[in-house]
Structure 1
Amino acid sequence: MEHYQWLSEKFFSETVSGLRTVSLSAVADAAEALDGVRRRGGRVYAMGNGGSASTATHLVCDLVKTARRPSEPGLRAFALADNIAVLTAYANDMSYADAFVHQLTNNAEVGDAVIAISASGRSPNIIAALRAARRMGLLSIGMLGCGGGTAVDLVDIPLIVGSDDFGVIETAHIAIVHAFADVLRAAPGPVGATATARTP
């Protein structure tokens, strides 16, 4: 039991340390940018693979529902891995590396934003989609780890968790998702104003 407790404490400690490496000014920049997309009536496209695909789905849920302000239009957000039929059709008939690219080019417009979630920052389909997003003039936010990988140079706002441990990185990414939800839900007001508590 002591061995497992030690391992658990180690993971918790490393996760907290990793989260503390994320730039709060970059999180604020990303939240402000997403609020701008909301006010313009634009859309947000989130993408990731594996656990990061689940984080993208979680992010979209929180942006659409939890981050909504009363009496204001909600943020329109979509996760590119959620439609299994579309994803597998592109992957099977073309290539998995371009499965996100085709969805962006079919749907996204100037004024929209892309959020790439990748622990390594090196996934080929993420890199291809970020390059497409840059060509299309889309705002891009990267939730990354491992120093940012190739993706760090392809996003407008990088949010990098200072760790090489995928479990630590992905756990910190979920914390960033919840930070976005709370920040975007809070009514605009003076610095230090307290946001209304969320209802589960």
Structure 2
Amino acid sequence: MSGDLVLNPVKVNAKDQTFLENYFALYRRLLLETDIKRELLAFRDLCLEVKARGNKLIFAGNGASASISSHAATDYTQHGKVRAITFNDHNLITAFGNDYGYEHWVERALEVYADPGDVVVLISSSGSSPNIVNAARYAQARDLRCVTFSGFSENNPLRALGQPGLWLDCNAYNVVESTHLIWILLVVNLLENDDGDDDFIERGLATIAQALTAPEHQGALLAFRDICREVALRSGKLIFAGNGGSASIASHAATDFTKQSRVRSIAFNDHNLLTCFANDYGLEHWMAQAVEAYAEPQDAVVLISSSGRSANVLNAANLAKHKDLPIITFTAFDPRNPLRKLGNVNFWADSHHYSIAEGLHSAWTFCVADMLVGKPIF
């Protein structure tokens, strides 16, 4: 695994090095020491039962957990071949939230969309979000099987409502969220390969833990952080973009960098924007046209693509380069992929598994968000 930097090299001072070492040591402990394999395999088996019955998975969460839900609903359908949906359309959220109250909108959505035999997957870092807990109680009362992902308190109410209830012993939002994503995507791998290799879970977790603790990423992480600081000082913004699961990571990042890290950020994930620009300019060019329309000279562009070969992402990178905007890239698979060559700061995951690549991309991205916040999470 390597993170490479194409700017003046960033010197890692003792304070930054201590932060990064402690941060990723926490990940390593959580990934390798959390006894989760049995629960992940139980979730895999539930998915297979749902598929055999012709039912569906329903994912839901708030904030980052909503982005994870979008990511999961697509990947379980496309790669895992288990039909899945999520409640992330803004019309649905605002209509049901306005009419029934935010604490009840998810359960009311379940009331109209869930069929007998469906499985509800609810994600909440705290395990205490009222709308998610109410949805879990609704599912339980209607004999809908509910799987939960939570963190923070061992006794959080959501965990007790899950069958299984997957829990991470951690109070740091970004670490909990990225670990939930890693767990969920490893199950996609099991469903996609369907070869009885249950030990892939342990190997996948070990691969991610090893990559995160590798010291060669430190310079790239600090360079990304410094670009963010410069963008904020210039009153600019970060522009995140990607396809599929990378688009979900982009949405998560745009919210967290704005809300928590105080660096104004956007992502091109509104369905009106996507369909309008793709329809008018073509799928290969819509992202570049969005950069043309939204980017300002004080901005930076963050492009995420596991393959590093998606035409729309490459076109966006070339346009950003033409505009002399700093470019941060996240890629995987072939180390010689063309996107990696276009960035000023580049992160590359040495894996051909989407689950591992996207898990690493998430953890690296939100490490930078936590560095910008500047508060210890340990």
TM-score, with structure 1 as normaliser = 0.85
Number of the residue aligned with 1:143? 330
Number of the residue aligned with 1:54? 248
Question: What CA distance in whole angstroms lies between the structure 1 residues aligned with 2:218 and 2:346?
Answer: 11
- Bigger drift between 112-121 and 140-149 goes to 140-149
Question: What CA distance in whole angstroms lies between the structure 2 residues aligned with 1:196 and 1:158?
Answer: 25
Determine if the alignment matches structure 1 residue 45 to structure 2 residue 233: no
Shift, 1:32, TM fit: 0.7
Shift, 1:141, TM fit: 0.3
Unpaired stretches in structure 2, ≥5 consecutive residues: 1-37, 42-195
Aligned to 1:62, the other structure's residue is in SS state helix
In structure 2, the CA distance between the partners of 1:23 and 1:101, relative to structure 1 (3 Å rule), is: same
Number of the residue aligned with 1:165? 353
Determine if the alignment matches structure 1 residue 9 to structure 2 residue 202: yes
Determine if the alignment matches structure 1 residue 96 to structure 2 residue 287: no
Instruction: Spell out the pairing of 1:6-155 with structure 2 (5 A cutoff).
Output: 6-20=199-213, 23-67=217-261, 74-80=262-268, 82-146=269-333, 147=335, 149-155=337-343
Question: 1:104-160: per-residue Cα shift (whole Å, max 9, x none)?
Answer: 111211121000011111110000000000111111100111226110111111111
Question: What is the alpha-carbon root mean square deviation over aligned residues?
Answer: 1.9
Question: 1:19-68: per-residue Cα shift (whole Å, max 9, x none)?
Answer: 3456211111111111110111001110000000000011111101121x
Determine if the alignment matches structure 1 residue 185 to structure 2 residue 378: no
Conserved 8 A contact 1:142-1:152? yes
The structure that has the greater radius of gyration is 2
Conserved 8 A contact 1:37-1:112? yes
- Bigger drift between 153-162 and 21-30 goes to 21-30
Number of the residue aligned with 1:156? 344
Question: What CA distance in whole angstroms lies between the structure 1 residues aligned with 2:336 and 2:236?
Answer: 26
Question: What CA distance in whole angstroms lies between the structure 2 residues aligned with 1:52 and 1:95?
Answer: 20
Counterpart residue identity of residue 111, structure 1:
Q
Aligned to 2:297, the other structure's residue is in SS state coil
Q: Percent identity?
A: 26
Counterpart residue identity of residue 207, structure 2:
E
Conserved 8 A contact 1:142-1:151? yes
Conserved 8 A contact 1:143-1:159? yes
